[in-house]
Chain A
């Protein structure tokens, strides 16, 4: 028989306590200083400056002595509302959400298609990434050419008996913008979904095979839950990217943009760089930031987006 010797509890606890003391109290936090400084210079100072600019009457007349530009409180914010900002926010958000909703199934389907090994899979994966690696400027220029009244798209449509009409002005421009955005942005969802698929444990596939699960229940009840975290995160990032996309509407439609595609970045750009109302455009930017941060916060709380925790739980 062997007897279990109880280790001297008191000394062990003391050791552990000391170790914890070292890691928590004497952490070399000062090592974070360079990064912190960089954050202050790159993010904090410009943000504070933008806030400040939004409170002053800064335009081409006061730019030279911008420190002395008159302080006008919330006037810029009040003016933002009467300058069509709310309409622009609505266009931006609806455009971004619709684009995201449309790209998710495409992205996931593409990821599933390239999950299993087959001949030429590498090529298919490469081809899928083409829209994503093309610069936004190029994508917009090519689509602008194709969507001309006498362009390729209308020529094809007329072959099947559909009257094309104008894609780059009027109400249709909104759908043209969404269409091009979807074309350019779905590979992002595809990449995120593919990464998540790759991380599904081999055992999971084996277990479903052993249980004899057909492909659809397997996909819906076993595989897709694994994708939930990464795809929700991708949705968030993609939506923000859509909202922030300036190049695409600018190159597709030019400035001034048709009213139907006067998205937030466009209105801020025109106010800032064509009307030279820097104060007003800063107020617009700050307002947009706040107005978008609120639903974003709710979304984050609702989906409890913590990929690691989810992975850990499984």
Chain B
């Protein structure tokens, strides 16, 4: 039955072991000539042609600089990537460089299969200083144990409908969650709603809860202790669900929405704010009725129920979001790998990548050139004010537990009300699984 899936994985591992035993080294001629660097990178389904062209361009540049070839291998989903990492880690052979999402970096780190970056390695790629300091926040558990090299940022911001805000007499977007709720109420009438929220998304809910809690001074993980059963977390869920059940400032149908559906709803031009989006949504928004009538803004950074951040609160405008580059420990081409990393994190290449795909540069100088763009101003600011989620191998489980609270609450949201007891008991479950995961963390 289900054993099939696992046995298949195990089978792959065995085969990979066998092929690793048979496989030879990639040693070639002098310098990089004759060598091939394998890079694993997420497939870009939005701009496949441009992505292929970009790969070709990078290959040419890399060949000119080192004499070696770059071979790109793409994965379609996070699951594909994980499977690839697993088999490579087990077999000790596979891609030399991995592009890994920021929240997945702690998990990748915990496998111990990637090169830890010392001074020498940082020098090879042009120094730590070349990166936006915030992006280094999730490179490793501490300064001495970094594995992730920031490549691109996708900070989260909110988009707002300029016409609707103006019509409601609001002169600037909200900077506190309470203010946001208030403005949303002002804009909700008839078929117009204050907020577009993707309640059924598999990732969005935990980002809200994490953000509000961190702003209130609770980073959710304190060493080896999970702090989910906390008034800050409860208040966060209460606010998040309250927009639907109490304030009624979101479309009731949003109980079934994932993020792309919320984008589509906002694009129709009948919603004041679209919470939690990135620059990659720009094209979708410009194709809708909202074209020319929307702007990005920083997400509120003052926790719900407060008018200013408490002294231990953090000004977290977004989770530290984007991709890191990791060099595999088993790689026979580590020098080439760092050459590649240096190339794709250079200012010019980073700006080009932004223009083609909308991912912000991790390169500080490149990011600076974009901050003068009025449309991008808030986004570059969010990139600088991004805060890393806790660096622990248990984070995957914690994030899952936080999302699960929202998933299991959807039926109640659908009925239009959820009690504090219901929220509390689901948070208690989440706390339990988060603590179990932390107890196992090594």
Contact = CB atoms under 8 A, between A and B. Distances in A.
A82 to B, nearest CB: 10
B147 to A, nearest CB: 13
B112 interface: yes
Interface in A11-32: none
Interface in B331-362: none
A272 interface: yes
Interface residues of B, number: 48
Contacts of A50: 3, 6-7, 10
B90 A292 contact: no
B407 A169 contact: yes
B7 A49 contact: yes
Given A60-B110, A274-B400, A168 B256 contact: yes
A168 B6 contact: no
Interface centre among B2, B82, B83 (most CB of A within 10 A): B2
Interface in B426-442: 437, 440-442
B11 A42 contact: yes
Interface in A276-306: 276, 278, 281-282, 284-286, 288-289, 292
Contacts of A41: 11
B14 interface: yes
A166 B396 contact: no
A75 interface: no
A33 B353 CA distance: 55
Contacts of B7: 43, 46-47, 49-50
A149 B414 contact: yes
Interface in A161-180: 165-166, 168-171
A150 B82 CA distance: 34
A139 interface: no
A286 B5 CA distance: 11
A60 B393 contact: yes
A166 B90 contact: no
A64 B411 contact: no
Nearest to B78: A273
Interface string A43-54: 101110110010
Contacts of B10: 46, 49-50, 53
A272 B6 CA distance: 8
A169 B414 contact: yes
Contacts of B249: none
B200 interface: yes
A41 B4 CA distance: 13
A74 interface: no
A264 B2 contact: yes
B248 to A, nearest CB: 15
Contacts of B403: 256
Contacts of B258: 254
Interface residues of A, number: 54
Contact of B255 (A169, A246, A265): A169
B111 A60 contact: yes
A149 B1 contact: no
A39 B220 CA distance: 49
A264 to B, nearest CB: 6
Interface string B97-117: 000000000010011110000
Contacts, number: 141
Given A64-B89, A268-B6, A166 B1 contact: no
Interface in B306-325: none
A38 B89 CA distance: 26
A247 B7 CA distance: 18
A275 B441 CA distance: 12
Contacts of A264: 1-2
A243 interface: yes
Interface string A133-177: 000000000000000111100000000000001101111000000
A81 interface: no
A171 B411 contact: yes
Interface in B211-261: 251-253, 255-256, 258, 261
B397 A45 contact: no
Interface in B64-103: 79, 82-83, 86, 89-90
B205 to A, nearest CB: 11
A47 to B, nearest CB: 6
Interface string B29-58: 000000000000000000000000000000
Given A50-B10, A289-B1, A273 B255 contact: no
A45 B6 contact: no
Interface in A44-95: 45-47, 49-50, 53, 59-61, 63-64, 66
A39 B86 CA distance: 25
A237 B86 CA distance: 32
A179 to B, nearest CB: 16
Contacts of A286: 3
A131 interface: no
Given A42-B11, A61-B442, A47 B411 contact: no
A256 B407 contact: yes
Contacts of B79: 273
Contacts of B408: 258-259
B404 interface: yes
**Leading 5 A-B pairs by shortest Cβ distance:** A170-B411, A46-B7, A49-B10, A169-B410, A150-B253
Given A63-B89, A149-B255, A254-B202, 6 more contacts: A46-B8, A169-B414, A243-B1, A246-B5, A254-B258, A285-B5
21 contacts: A45-B14, A46-B11, A46-B14, A60-B107, A60-B110, A63-B89, A148-B256, A150-B251, A166-B256, A168-B200, A169-B255, A169-B256, A169-B414, A170-B414, A256-B403, A268-B6, A273-B82, A275-B400, A281-B6, A284-B2, A285-B3
